[in-house]
Amino acid sequence: MVVSDCYRIRPDGIDLTVRLTPKSSADAIDGLGVQADGAVHLAARVRAVPDKGAANAALERLLAGGLGLPRSSVAIIGGSTSRLKTVRLTGNPDDLAAALGEVVAQAGRRA
């Protein structure tokens, strides 16, 4: 399992698959996970509750902060009411891929 398994490259960035756990004890990116069908996702958790978009907004802030992106460069484009989401990261795809790799590596060191 490698980081590139959880995203698709776009000309203007990356579409990232994220599995979000709301109502957690802390906001964190937990690394990579595998779904029952074998698809890979980035696992994240936030303290916010899934009410009126609060958990989605918290995920966008978490990813922006963790990847060093402006908040306007992170947007949930699919799965807004599901745990499994598609998040669009806008920017240089190579830079975004490198930042994702570092975030996943840091999560692995914490585990």
* pLDDT, position 93: 96
Q: What is the pLDDT along the chain (111 residues), one digit of tens a residue?
A: 788 899 999 999 999 999 999 999 999 999 999 999 999 999 999 999 999 999 999 999 999 999 999 999 999 999 999 999 999 999 999 999 999 999 999 987 776
Report how far apart, in Å, the C-alpha atoms of 10 and of each of 26, 41, 54, 82 are: 31, 17, 27, 23
9-93-107 Cα angle (round to 5): 90
Full-model pTM: 0.94
Cα–Cα distance for residue pair 44/91, rounded to 1 Å: 21
